[in-house]
């Protein structure tokens, strides 16, 4: 810095000295040598004269240029495209550089991609006209979806290749796929058309004071709900009102179901709670006929303990009867409405039938979307309004509209599945691979996990569900947090921490998902599939976990 400052000062002094000399031409200093003064004066005057002439000449030239140069530029500006004077066609210069070769290869790739797109579009259109009649709907949809994926990917590649070559607002290549062309938004996991208008139904017209007492004792809540649905069908066939069992004998159904919803859908009093039934019977009811659908392995699944509970409720009954002598729960035979009428038809006021969870009666009717009974709703047996709203709030909080629901049953499932051939219990890595393929197929960002698995299993599963380097989150219902309001309704109505309410909430969330992956052999899964079918939320991609595959490792028997 010091050196720079000194240089600037020296230059400044030199300039000042020169300017002083030019500005004071007549102040000539006295000569130290008087003998030479005339010659010096002559030369000085001559020098001054030359400087003046040169200064005037330079000034005149500069002045003329300042005047004429704008006059010269103006006509040139209006008569000539200035940009053309300074522009050149760079592409015409053949520089053999790496960048030129990259550019050429990009343009060639773009040309080939356009050709590929045209071929794919032709094939796409061809699939609509000449589909293979032997191909299943799912396989056919998969092929079409794969084609559309390739077309979409092709468009994306073209846009990437074009981006370095765009100039200003120039339009894209005209052969690019138009997002509005018919079928562009094809969804391989779209909802299944359940064709509700084509249902075959029966009217439920209960006769006065004719009741059917439901006996459902096998398995857990899901088994009981399926059993209740079949009891409603039996009650409709027999023209009786259905009595929902007491919570002292069965589950507390009014905490998970809306009984009045069923009656509203039917349009009449077809289902009554046990307490209302006992009021009609003056707190003492007699079962005139107690008929067991199955005779083996145990009639009605009723033992002495169950009989004691019924008696403690103020109910008396005669002996248990069996409808068929050799009807086994392990191999139920097909039955018809006529069989039901013949075996269970009666003029008695109160009859009980049990347990009919395994009953195979008019299977095609029972498994229809919406069930076999005529009604004005989507389904008769569905979660209560409080559970429905809580499920919707959970989905809005954590999942959004597009999510996969996975019922991942593990507790007690290893032994159950290994008793089957082939087993339905999959190692975590294999299960993760199956789930990841479904995520890619359904194009969903998140998975709702309904499971009884240990944390060690779910943690490993979470770490292995990865697509394109991105971990797909597995979301479970979190523990109670007062800062979260999605479950406030349950707490406000005293339904919190009820295992059956929580199970029904899980079912409801799963039934509302975009795609559902179920556990094979689980009635929990089957009830979810029933709800999805009835609600119209079933997807073409719904399936059991690793459907069509066998476990890549199975443990030996005990």
* Burial label, 303 (beta-carbon count in 10 A; 0-12, 13-18, 19+): exposed
Q: Same domain for 313 and 342? A: yes
For the chain, what is the domain count?
Answer: 3
**22-37 per-position pLDDT tens digit:** 443 334 334 334 444 4
Q: In terms of Cα–Cα distance, which of 537, 527, 432 is closest to 474?
A: 432
Q: Same domain for 516 and 411? A: yes
Token output for 72: 């010269």
More confident residue, 146 or 167: 146
Token output for 69: 């140069």
| The pLDDT value given to residue 541 | 93
Q: How far apart are CA 497 and CA 495, in angstroms?
A: 7
**435-486 per-position pLDDT tens digit:** 999 999 999 999 999 999 999 999 999 999 999 889 999 999 998 888 889 9
**189-234 per-position pLDDT tens digit:** 889 888 888 888 999 999 999 999 998 988 889 999 999 999 999 9
* pLDDT band, residue 101 (cuts 50/70/90): low
Q: How far apart are CA 246 and CA 223, in angstroms?
A: 17
Q: In terms of Cα–Cα distance, which of 391, 410, 371, 355 is closest to 503?
A: 391
pLDDT of residue 174 exceeding 70, the answer is no
Does residue 166 lie within any of the structural domains? no
* pLDDT band, residue 5 (cuts 50/70/90): very low
Does residue 60 lie within any of the structural domains? no
| The pLDDT value given to residue 175 | 38
Q: Same domain for 327 and 399? A: no
pLDDT of residue 398 exceeding 60, the answer is yes
Q: Same domain for 391 and 532? A: yes
Q: Same domain for 408 and 515? A: yes
Interval 348-352 mean pLDDT: 93
Q: Same domain for 502 and 443? A: yes
Interval 283-303 mean pLDDT: 86
Residue 494, domain CATH: 3.40.50.11350
| The pLDDT value given to residue 134 | 52
The domain containing residue 309 runs over which residues? 211-367
Q: Same domain for 393 and 354? A: no
* pLDDT band, residue 539 (cuts 50/70/90): very high
**506-537 per-position pLDDT tens digit:** 999 999 999 999 999 899 999 999 999 999 99
Q: Same domain for 240 and 333? A: yes
* pLDDT band, residue 145 (cuts 50/70/90): low
Does residue 31 lie within any of the structural domains? no
Q: What is the mean pLDDT of the chain?
A: 78
Interval 364-388 mean pLDDT: 92
Q: How far apart are CA 16 and CA 23, in angstroms?
A: 10
More confident residue, 145 or 504: 504
| The pLDDT value given to residue 206 | 94
* pLDDT band, residue 351 (cuts 50/70/90): very high
Residue 289, domain CATH: 3.40.50.11340
Residue by residue, DSSP assigns 42-90 as: HHHHHHHHHHHHHHHHHHHHHHHHHHHHHHHHHHHHHHS-HHHHH---G
Question: In b/e form, how buried is each residue of 183-219, taking b as 16+ CB within 10 angstroms?
Answer: eeeeebbeebebeeeeeeeeebebeeebbbbbbbbbe
SS3 at position 272: strand
Q: Same domain for 260 and 326? A: yes
**229-280 per-position pLDDT tens digit:** 999 999 999 999 999 988 888 889 989 998 889 999 999 999 999 999 998 9
Q: Same domain for 282 and 424? A: no
**326-344 per-position pLDDT tens digit:** 888 888 999 999 999 999 9
Does residue 267 lie within any of the structural domains? yes
Does residue 474 lie within any of the structural domains? yes
| The pLDDT value given to residue 3 | 38
Interval 551-556 mean pLDDT: 92
Does residue 95 lie within any of the structural domains? no
| The pLDDT value given to residue 95 | 45
Q: Same domain for 403 and 506? A: yes
Does residue 407 lie within any of the structural domains? yes
Output the CA torsion sign for 488, 490, 494, 495: negative
Does residue 515 lie within any of the structural domains? yes
Q: Same domain for 423 and 278? A: no
Determine contact, residues 344/238, Cβ cutoff 8 Å.
Answer: yes
| The pLDDT value given to residue 141 | 63
């Amino acid at each position: 810095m010091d050196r720079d400052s000194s240089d600037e000062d020296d230059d400044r002094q030199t300039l000042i000295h020169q300017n002083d000399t030019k500005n004071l031409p007549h102040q000539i200093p006295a000569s130290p040598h008087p003998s030479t003064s005339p010659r010096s004066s002559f030369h000085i005057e001559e020098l001054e004269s030359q400087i003046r002439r040169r200064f005037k000449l330079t000034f005149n030239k500069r002045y003329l240029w300042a005047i004429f140069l704008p006059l010269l530029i103006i006509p040139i500006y209006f008569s000539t495209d200035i940009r053309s004077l300074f522009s050149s066609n760079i592409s015409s210069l053949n520089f053999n550089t790496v960048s030129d070769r990259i550019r050429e290869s990009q343009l060639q790739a773009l040309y080939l991609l356009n050709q590929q797109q045209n071929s794919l579009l032709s094939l796409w259109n061809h699939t609509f006209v000449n589909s293979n009649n032997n191909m299943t709907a799912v396989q056919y949809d998969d092929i079409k979806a794969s084609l559309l994926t390739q077309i979409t990917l092709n468009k994306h590649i073209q846009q990437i290749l074009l981006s370095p070559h765009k100039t200003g607002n120039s339009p894209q290549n005209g052969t690019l796929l138009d997002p509005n062309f018919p079928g562009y938004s094809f969804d391989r996991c779209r909802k299944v058309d359940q064709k509700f208008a084509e249902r075959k139904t029966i009217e439920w017209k209960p006769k006065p004071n004719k009741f059917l007492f439901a006996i459902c004792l096998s398995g857990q809540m899901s088994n009981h709900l399926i059993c209740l649905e079949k009891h409603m069908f039996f009650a409709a066939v027999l023209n009786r009102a259905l009595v929902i069992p007491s919570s002292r004998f069965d589950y507390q159904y009014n905490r998970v179901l809306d009984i009045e919803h069923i009656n509203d859908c039917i349009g009449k009093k077809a289902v009554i709670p046990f307490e209302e039934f006992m009021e009609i019977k003056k707190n003492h009811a007699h079962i005139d006929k107690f008929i067991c659908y199955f005779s083996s392995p145990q009639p009605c699944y009723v033992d002495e303990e169950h009989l004691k509970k019924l008696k403690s409720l103020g109910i008396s009954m005669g002996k248990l009867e069996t409808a068929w002598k050799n009807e086994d729960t392990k191999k139920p035979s097909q039955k018809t409405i006529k069989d039901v009428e013949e075996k269970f038809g009666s003029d008695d006021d109160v009859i009980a039938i049990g347990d009919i969870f395994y009953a195979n009666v008019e299977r095609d009717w029972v498994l229809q979307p919406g069930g076999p009974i005529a009604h004005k709703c989507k389904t008769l047996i569905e979660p209560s309004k409080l559970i429905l709203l809580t499920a919707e709030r959970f989905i809005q909080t954590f999942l959004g509209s597009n999510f996969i629901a996975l019922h991942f049953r593990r507790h007690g499932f290893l032994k159950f599945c290994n008793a089957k051939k082939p087993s339905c219990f999959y190692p975590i890595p294999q299960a993760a691979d199956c789930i990841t393929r479904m995520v890619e197929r359904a194009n969903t960002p998140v998975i709702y996990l309904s499971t009884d698995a240990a944390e060690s299993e779910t943690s490993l599963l979470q770490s292995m569900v990865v697509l394109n380097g991105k971990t797909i989150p597995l979301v479970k219902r979190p523990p109670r947090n007062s800062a979260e309001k999605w479950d406030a309704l349950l707490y406000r109505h005293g339904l919190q921490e009820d295992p059956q309410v929580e199970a029904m909430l899980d079912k409801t969330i799963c039934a509302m998902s975009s795609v559902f992956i179920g556990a094979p052999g689980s009635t929990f899964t089957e009830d979810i599939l029933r709800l999805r079918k009835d609600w119209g939320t079933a997807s073409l991609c719904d399936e059991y976990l690793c459907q069509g595959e066998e476990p890549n490792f199975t443990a030996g028997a005990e």
